[in-house]
Every structure is written in structure tokens, then in C-alpha cells.
């Protein structure tokens, strides 16, 4: 059974810092790994999706990596800004699952201080 | 192309009442997923439906919860005799289906926040 864990649960950094959010999954048989952003009381915004055959994806100041063999993904945020403050969720889509449902971690709550 | 729509956005029910949550998938999407998010937790899968069929309901509580996705109209998540523990945000996602890359990529709605008093 796939389980997804995110560390740390919360993170507070000063503006301008580069930071890394971690995501680990127990079963390497995944279809893809996706990172989302969730603002308080809001829905989910997809940030980056990494297919199982890929090692990383980049979008602006965001870079996500995937290492299936170690069951890990990281989200790197460069030059953080107060507007980056949100909860970041990672989700794995199990490979041998006909419903293609997403298995989510509990999230990392990020606060970027001005 | 409008995104996934959910209504109501906020719903307050007293214990014992029924809650009906609606989800309209993106245009052209025939697959719907429901997830529940308890406070300070990630989203947990509940059910996956295609038009008129429940494909995977492994995450649905055994009692009081049901879901449907009729041929016409939105998908409905129905919770009977609500209890305080049902208070959560309920998210719907849709995907196009049909095979090929992107067929199962999920697009999320804004969620319905259910409060049981």
C-alpha cells in the first residue's frame, strides 16, 4: 500500500532564501509524482508533474526532482517570496492501480517572512 | 473552458441532517474523483466514478456516504445523517479519460467546506 510522507510539516524562512521541501513514498511503482500548492481555504493549484520516466521538471523558480529508486521527490524553491507562503502537497499516482487515484502527503506549511 | 465547479462552496448542517455536494467536471471530462481533507491533513481518496458507474469506492466510509455520476448533470456526493466528524473540505477532480497521455491527469475544483454543528 502506497504511503506518502512530507517533511517538514511546517517551515518558516526569511524572504530571499532558497529552500527544499521533501516528499517520500513507500512504493517506487508510480505512474507520476505531482506537486500542488494550496492557499488557506482554497483549492489545489498544480505546480509540477513529473512522469515516472523523468528525473526533474522546472517552472520558473520551482524545480522538482524525482528519484524512484530511493522513493523521494524534492521541491526546490529559489529566492523565496512572501507570496510563496502556502501549503505544499505532493501526491503519487500508483502504477498498478486501475483507478489512477492520487495518494497525498499531509503537506508542508511554508511561511516566508518579509 | 470553465474549470471544475463545485457547489455549494460552504455548507453548514446540523447533526443528523443530509449533505449533498455537487461537482461539475470540466467540459469533455468523463471521470470524476472525490477526495476529503480533514483539518491539517492531506487529501484522502474517497471514490472514482465514470458516467453512470462507480469504478473504485475503496476510500468511502461503509455507511452514510454515497456517490453518483449520472448520464446528465453533475456528480453528487451524499452524506446522510451527518456527524461532527464529517466536517471537512471535500474536493472533486475530473480527468478526460479516453487513453493517451494526460487521460488521467486530474484537475481539481475549489472544494466544498462542510461544517456540522
Along the 117 residues of chain B, how does pLDDT read in single tens digits?
Answer: 579 999 999 999 999 999 999 999 999 899 999 999 998 788 999 999 998 899 999 999 999 999 999 999 999 999 999 999 999 999 999 998 877 767 778 899 999 999 999
Place of cell 524572504: A15
For the stretch A65-113, pLDDT in tens is 999 999 999 999 999 999 999 999 999 998 877 778 999 999 999 999 9
CA–CA separation, B111 and B21 (whole Å): 9
Q: Look at B109 and A49 and tell me if their CB atoms are within 8 Å.
A: no
Q: How far apart are the first and last CA of chain B?
A: 37
> Which of B32, B40, B43, B105 is best to mutate for the A interface (most A CBs within 10 A)?
B43
Burial of A52 (0-12, 13-18, 19+ CB in 10 A): middle
A99 contact B CB<8A: yes
Can you give the length of chain B in residues? 117
Q: Tally the C-alpha atoms within 13 A of residue A12's C-alpha that lie toward its C-beta.
A: 2
B29 contact A CB<8A: no
B96 contact A CB<8A: no
**What 3-state DSSP class applies to B77?**
strand
Chain B residues 7-26 with a CB less than 8 Å from chain A: none
**What 3-state DSSP class applies to B86?**
helix
Amino acid at each position: 500500500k502506497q504511503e506518502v510522507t512530507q517533511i517538514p510539516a511546517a517551515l518558516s524562512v526569511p524572504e530571499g532564501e532558497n529552500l527544499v521541501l521533501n516528499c517520500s513514498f513507500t512504493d517506487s511503482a508510480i505512474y507520476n509524482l505531482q506537486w500542488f500548492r494550496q492557499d488557506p481555504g482554497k483549492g489545489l493549484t498544480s505546480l509540477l508533474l513529473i512522469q515516472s520516466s523523468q528525473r526533474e521538471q522546472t517552472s520558473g523558480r520551482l524545480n522538482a526532482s524525482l528519484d524512484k529508486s530511493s522513493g523521494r521527490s524534492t521541491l526546490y524553491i529559489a529566492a523565496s517570496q512572501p507570496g510563496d507562503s502556502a501549503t505544499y502537497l505532493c501526491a503519487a499516482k500508483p502504477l498498478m492501480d486501475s483507478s489512477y487515484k492520487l495518494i497525498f502527503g499531509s503537506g508542508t506549511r511554508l511561511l516566508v517572512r518579509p | 473552458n470553465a474549470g471544475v465547479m463545485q457547489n455549494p462552496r460552504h455548507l453548514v448542517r446540523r447533526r443528523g441532517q443530509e449533505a449533498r455536494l455537487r461537482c461539475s467536471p470540466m467540459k469533455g471530462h468523463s471521470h470524476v474523483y472525490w477526495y476529503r481533507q480533514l483539518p491539517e491533513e492531506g487529501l484522502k481518496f474517497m471514490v472514482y466514478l465514470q458516467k453512470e458507474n462507480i469504478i473504485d469506492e475503496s476510500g468511502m466510509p461503509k455507511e452514510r456516504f454515497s456517490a453518483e455520476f449520472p448520464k446528465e448533470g453533475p456528480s453528487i456526493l451524499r452524506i446522510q445523517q451527518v456527524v461532527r466528524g464529517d466536517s471537512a473540505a471535500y474536493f472533486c477532480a475530473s480527468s478526460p479519460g479516453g487513453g493517451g497521455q494526460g487521460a488521467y491527469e486530474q484537475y481539481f475544483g475549489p472544494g466544498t467546506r462542510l461544517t456540522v454543528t
